[in-house]
Structure 1
Amino acid sequence: MRSFRASWSKWKSRADRIIPSNRQIVVWLLLGLFSLETGAVNPRFGWIGFVLFGVFAALVLIDLSLAHKQGFPEVHREFSGTPQNGLPMTVHLHVSFAGSKRSGRSTRLPMTQFDIGEPETFRFIQALTLNRVHDRQSHGSGQSQGSGQSHGSSQGQEPSFGEPSLSTSIGSAFTAELSPTVRGPQEFASTDCRFSSPVGMWTCMHRDDNKAQLLVLPDVTSWRDEVESLMKTLFQEGRHVKRLASGDTDFAYISEYGIDDDLRTVNWAATARRTRLMKNVYEPERGQHIIIAIDASRYMAVELPDGKTRLDHAVDCASALAHTALRMGDSVGIIGFSDKVDLRIAPDNGKDHWRLVVDGLARLQPQAVQGGYQALFSSLAGQFRRRSLLIVLSEMEGLATDAGFLPAIRAAKQQHPTIFVSILPNHLHELLECALRTEDDVAEWAAVEWLLEERDELKSVLHRGGVEVIEAPPNQLVTKVVTSYLRKKRRGSL
């Protein structure tokens, strides 16, 4: 036999229900105390309490009838803006009251509260706000604000509602601004709302089963202007930049000669025809392959002081590099690996391929396993055989625990020019500058110094093996990696 507590919990978690409000409970208690007091003082006036009980019971029943008549609101949830990690997006709630639609009158829903079902990985930037009313606004509704401290709820759980409340009418629209803090697939639970009956004696609960799956993409806007500036700077026409273009290039078009242009690019035949100096413009070779390999092992799950993990920064860098390479006409392939290959995207180009790359990077999550580069090199020997520029986004700690990495990467470098990219641990350098006060501080200082020395030794080994190493703080990682790629592209050394 089910216990009373289990039965009560199941009844409370029902999607659509009408329960006594706190106001009704308080009035019943007051009437009971009044009746007891009146009967105790003068029994001849005990009938007054019974009359009051009857009148209030009739009011409660009438209010319950009105609550059933007005029905439950219809809540439609919409999203605007592409969900990107750390960037705001807007959630719209469109509320229409079915009972008022049938009667054609605007019915006020006092004390309306919503739980929009946001995941725990989303944070509120702006709380739920009444935006507009399609029919006519109820008295006192105004531009009230609700609380953004609600939490997502799933079927079978009691939803959590915030304070204060909102008053609305037919066709109300609410908006809330949220920001995701984690990449990958996220689920919005069902939308819950709570409102009171017309007289306020009952509390009506309603759940609109409109679960939604969203894919939170990496932030592809923070670096866009910076990358565009780098592309213009490294590929503009000018004496300083043209020195970088010594070995590549295919003829592109003829343009007018500038003061700082190289005299070797003058097209004398075109100059004779147009009676002014003209030059040949060359562009780097297009259609080369770029392979971006991203380590997704446990080392990349370390959270940095800015709140992002190493993998988040690696994904941002990979998306910026892929965008740049696709703009330059190259084909981009992606390998996400831990102890196995978690993500494999064959080299290709075009807008559809860019969307495929971004979606794949958004779904890449760190795995709680020891990293291994064997899966990466197996993929290079299998599907990615064509000569390509290999860019490995990983951590030095993984190299120290994988004895087979250095011989394998030297072998791979014979076919794939390789760049090893790692995040520079500035926070560790800052620890070395702190004053030592306790024995624990001395032990921490020694461990940090040993770790940094090991990183420097591994970096030297990679340099001696012909592998280019890029170390940069998180906020400079995109700039350094994209600059290195563009310079190699300009020199024709891919």
Structure 2
Amino acid sequence: MIYPTRPCVLAALIGAPLALVAALMQPNLWLAAPGWLLGLGLLMVVDAVLAAPARSADVRLDVPGYLAVAAPSEARLIVDFGNGRAVHQKLEAALDAEARVGLEQSRGRRVSETEFAFPLKPERRGTAIFNEAIVRWRGPLGLIWRQTRRPLPVQTPVGSDIRRIEDEALRMFSRDDQHGAKVQLDVGEGAEFHALRDFHSGMDRRTVDWKQSARHHTLLAKEFRIERNHQVVMALDCGRTMSEPVDGAPRIDRAIHGALILAYASLRGGDRAGLFAFDGRPRLSTGAVTGVGAFPLLVRQAANIDYGTEETNYAFGLTSLSATLKRRSLIVIFTEFADSTSAELMIESVGRLIRKHLVLFVVMRDDELEGLVSAVPETPEDVSRAVVAATLLRERDVVLGRLRRLGAHIVEAPADRLGPEALNVYLDLKRRDLL
């Protein structure tokens, strides 16, 4: 595309009237106005010929391999003409991207002769899609713009802030990181034998190894340490209810943040961790991974969990999860139930899981309902809202009580404390050797 620059337009607007006035004063100068416009047009043609052609422009977009929600980042657009014809000419560039990218301004800031910077600050998880780049440059005479649009087949995942998750997990985990590494004196299911030591007063007599004691003519006791390599699966409900906001962010975003904190601590503690997401049907299953080095993989996979619009099918989702697990695992379910019908189906599905696995049920405390109950009523409508809210909270407590009686462990915490509270319970379960 070729079109005139602002100076060219101004020259035409100013020069033509002046030539017309001159023609009115001197009739023999009546060709001055069309001559001026024709001359300007010829100069524009010359400028277009001298300008670098659009086909010679090589446009590339360099974006980070992963973007974090609410974390500043930057994309770089590189325009290379190869032969250097446009290096000394004015270049401008703009980006067209979907709203999820968080493009703060469409026009880029020029950082070098052929490179532009675009600040990014994503607002939602998912896949960031950059649609196209628009690049234009002036001819050497400054009379015309050449412009080209280039599609950009560039996509990058947008997810949680890895550094913030790791810092928060380390801060919580460092208080208990000795669990799973230090020698334990208690024996339980799955305990791992470590060594023999002299028996001392106060030690558990069940740890005495009578055969070795008889051989060495002194009392010897077994030392144990918590068994590692447990399997921890974070099951994330990404249905319609979990897509609703709480404290300014969707519930699913809060759940993913908490799940990743728990996953990082699990991997760091020597256990295996995996993600499973479902709504009306299973959406994501990463399988169990090992080692802290695999944590970025879980983060990138979590970025692919979309905001669901379907009702959650607990029977289908949890049955599919159970079918993929070949060994006893800790299943951490992040969910929210809206009515007694869905809660009944959820309880039935969780009951089948508990027969083989250890289940940790994580829900967010509903501060809005609690606020309605505790608020001083001023109108009859306030009383009605308080009664309805109290009924919903009572039904919620009944559901959580039934889950506890089935054998599930429950975490009910504020949205911003979901990860730390779940991590505390995980460490406690590991300390008690229940995994």
Q: TM-score, normalised by structure 1?
A: 0.73
**CA distance in structure 1 between the partners assigned to 2:342 and 2:363 by the alignment:** 16
Cα separation, partners in 2 of 1:51 and 1:348, compared to 1, 3 Å: closer
1:119 is aligned, of 88, 98, 101, to: 98
1:53 is aligned, of 37, 44, 48, to: 37
Aligned 8 A contact 1:114 1:193 in 2: yes
After TM superposition, the structure 1 = structure 2 runs for residues 197-236 of structure 1, keeping only pairs within 5 Å, are 197-236=139-178
2:280 is aligned, of 339, 356, 359, to: 339
**CA distance in structure 2 between the partners assigned to 1:182 and 1:339 by the alignment:** 22
**Farther-moved stretch of structure 1 (373-382 vs 244-253):** 244-253
Q: Which residue of 2 aligns with 1:423?
A: 364
Cα separation, partners in 2 of 1:440 and 1:62, compared to 1, 3 Å: farther
After TM superposition, the structure 1 = structure 2 runs for residues 208-287 of structure 1, keeping only pairs within 5 Å, are 208-236=150-178, 247=188, 249-252=191-194, 264=203, 282-287=224-229
Query: How far is the alpha carbon of 1:464 from its aligned partner?
Result: 3.0
Q: Which residue of 2 aligns with 1:91?
A: 75
Q: Which residue of 2 aligns with 1:302?
A: 244
**CA distance in structure 1 between the partners assigned to 2:154 and 2:232 by the alignment:** 35
Letter in 1 for 2:127: P
Cα separation, partners in 2 of 1:377 and 1:66, compared to 1, 3 Å: closer
Query: How far is the alpha carbon of 1:401 from its aligned partner?
Result: 2.5
2:421 is aligned, of 471, 480, 485, to: 480
Q: Which residue of 2 aligns with 1:184?
A: 126
Cα separation, partners in 2 of 1:120 and 1:287, compared to 1, 3 Å: same
Q: Which residue of 2 aligns with 1:360?
A: 301
**CA distance in structure 1 between the partners assigned to 2:401 and 2:118 by the alignment:** 51
SS of the counterpart of 2:286? strand
Cα separation, partners in 2 of 1:194 and 1:438, compared to 1, 3 Å: farther
Query: How far is the alpha carbon of 1:173 from its aligned partner?
Result: 3.1
Query: How far is the alpha carbon of 1:452 from its aligned partner?
Result: 2.5
**CA distance in structure 2 between the partners assigned to 1:422 and 1:262 by the alignment:** 44
**CA distance in structure 2 between the partners assigned to 1:358 and 1:235 by the alignment:** 22
Letter in 2 for 1:173: E
Q: Which residue of 1 aligns with 2:257?
A: 316
Can you list the C-alpha shifts for 1:108-144, whole angstroms capped at 9, x where unaligned?
A: 323x3222344311224xxxxxxxxxxxxxxxxxxxx
Letter in 2 for 1:455: R
1:74 aligns with 2:30: no
Query: How far is the alpha carbon of 1:41 from its aligned partner?
Result: 4.7
Q: Which residue of 2 aligns with 1:384?
A: 325
| Structure 2: 5+ residue stretches without partners | 208-220
Letter in 2 for 1:114: A
**Farther-moved stretch of structure 1 (342-351 vs 206-215):** 342-351
**CA distance in structure 2 between the partners assigned to 1:336 and 1:436 by the alignment:** 41
CA RMSD of aligned residues (A): 3.6
Letter in 2 for 1:448: A
Q: Which residue of 1 aligns with 2:408?
A: 467
**CA distance in structure 1 between the partners assigned to 2:298 and 2:353 by the alignment:** 24
Aligned 8 A contact 2:105 2:119 in 1: no
Aligned 8 A contact 1:251 1:281 in 2: yes
Aligned 8 A contact 1:396 1:458 in 2: no
**CA distance in structure 1 between the partners assigned to 2:345 and 2:138 by the alignment:** 68
**CA distance in structure 1 between the partners assigned to 2:260 and 2:110 by the alignment:** 42
SS of the counterpart of 1:62? helix
Q: TM-score, normalised by structure 2?
A: 0.81
Q: Which residue of 2 aligns with 1:409?
A: 350
Query: How far is the alpha carbon of 1:182 from its aligned partner?
Result: 2.2
1:349 is aligned, of 274, 287, 290, to: 290
Query: How far is the alpha carbon of 1:71 from its aligned partner?
Result: 7.5
Cα separation, partners in 2 of 1:202 and 1:382, compared to 1, 3 Å: same
Query: How far is the alpha carbon of 1:485 from its aligned partner?
Result: 0.7
Identity score, percent? 23
Q: Which residue of 1 aligns with 2:15?
A: 31
Aligned 8 A contact 1:223 1:478 in 2: no
SS of the counterpart of 1:397? coil
1:369 aligns with 2:310: yes
**CA distance in structure 2 between the partners assigned to 1:198 and 1:427 by the alignment:** 64
Q: Which residue of 1 aligns with 2:233?
A: 291
| Structure 1: 5+ residue stretches without partners | 1-16, 125-147, 151-160, 256-260, 268-278
**CA distance in structure 1 between the partners assigned to 2:256 and 2:193 by the alignment:** 35
Aligned 8 A contact 1:335 1:376 in 2: no
Query: How far is the alpha carbon of 1:393 from its aligned partner?
Result: 0.8
Cα separation, partners in 2 of 1:23 and 1:430, compared to 1, 3 Å: farther
**CA distance in structure 1 between the partners assigned to 2:275 and 2:35 by the alignment:** 79
**Farther-moved stretch of structure 1 (366-375 vs 351-360):** 351-360
SS of the counterpart of 2:241? helix
SS of the counterpart of 1:221? helix
Query: How far is the alpha carbon of 1:484 from its aligned partner?
Result: 0.5
Aligned 8 A contact 1:338 1:371 in 2: yes
Letter in 2 for 1:213: Q
**CA distance in structure 2 between the partners assigned to 1:94 and 1:457 by the alignment:** 60
Can you list the C-alpha shifts for 1:38-94, whole angstroms capped at 9, x where unaligned?
A: 444542442433443344334333322322579854333212463223323322233
Query: How far is the alpha carbon of 1:445 from its aligned partner?
Result: 4.3
Letter in 2 for 1:416: H
Query: How far is the alpha carbon of 1:482 from its aligned partner?
Result: 1.0
Cα separation, partners in 2 of 1:64 and 1:462, compared to 1, 3 Å: same
Can you list the C-alpha shifts for 1:1-55, whole angstroms capped at 9, x where unaligned?
A: xxxxxxxxxxxxxxxx211234323332333333444444542442433443344
Aligned 8 A contact 2:95 2:133 in 1: yes
SS of the counterpart of 1:286? coil
SS of the counterpart of 1:108? coil
Aligned 8 A contact 1:194 1:206 in 2: yes
**CA distance in structure 2 between the partners assigned to 1:77 and 1:23 by the alignment:** 31
**Aligned pairs, number:** 416
1:109 is aligned, of 89, 92, 96, to: 89
Aligned 8 A contact 1:295 1:393 in 2: yes
**CA distance in structure 1 between the partners assigned to 2:62 and 2:132 by the alignment:** 12
Aligned 8 A contact 1:290 1:332 in 2: yes
